[in-house]
Amino acid sequence: MAIAQPLQAQGSGDGFLFKQPDVSWEVRGGFDRATAASDIFSFVTDQLTVKRGDFSSATLGADFGIRLSARFDLVLGVAYSGSRTRSEFRRWVDQDNLPISQATYFRRVPVTASLKAYLLPRGRSIGRFVWLPLRSAPYVGVGAGQMWYRFRQAGDFVDFQTLNVFTDDFNASGWTWTAHAFAGVEVSLSPRFVMTGEGRYTWARGPLGTDFVGFHNIDLSGFAMTAGLAARL
């Protein structure tokens, strides 16, 4: 009885679990390349020393997965990406021949629900009590939700009608609908822990509000490549 150690064996064995996991937690991080395709980005990159690539940034996210069937999960997720870029006007300087400088901030926080489909079985059951995870399991998925966003410019600017330099803080933020599609693979590190690699494209656009009159909706889309660590429960 002393050798058997039954309390430890009830959780997992050598390469297997005593039941198929019902939920999972994942933390992932990587890089989110912003599409930055709307006219506000064209204006900013033309007038200021900013490149479209400056709106791309690192991203961090968390997912909670609920098993629906052998091949499908419902995944609730949240992620964050944000950039801050210092810049100045390309063709204008102030009266002392100094640069007219400002900072541009771009933030995106999607809160989503997704349907995740495994292309191969995640594991196999042996009898009634033993579940063996496979070494790797590719998957695809789609989802939708709401995205909070902020586009902000603070600093000094040129009034193109009077050519006066003024200080201001332009801000646009709010919530908008978003959709996404993704594909990736899970690699089992142990019966309970999984390493993931994923590519995800997100579609979203949102209004800029009264601080940016004359511009169309801002493009919030982007493609993210992430790696993560998940725990099966």
Report CA 58 to chain centroid distance, whole Å.
Answer: 9
List of domains in the chain: 20-232 (2.40.160.20)
Please list the pLDDT of the chain residue by residue as tens digits (233 residues).
344 444 343 443 346 567 778 999 999 999 999 999 999 999 999 999 999 999 999 999 999 999 999 899 999 999 999 999 999 999 999 988 999 999 999 999 999 999 999 999 887 777 666 778 889 999 999 999 999 999 999 999 999 999 999 999 999 999 999 999 999 999 999 888 999 999 999 999 999 999 999 999 999 999 999 999 999 98
- Scan for tokens 């511009």, then name that residue: 215
Distance, in Å, from the CA atom of 182 to the CA atom of 108, rounded to the nearest integer, reads 18
Q: Which ranges in 67-168 belong to alpha helices (H)?
A: none
Residue 127: CB atoms within 10 A of its CB come to 6
Q: Which amino acid is at 26?
A: E
pTM for the structure as a whole: 0.89
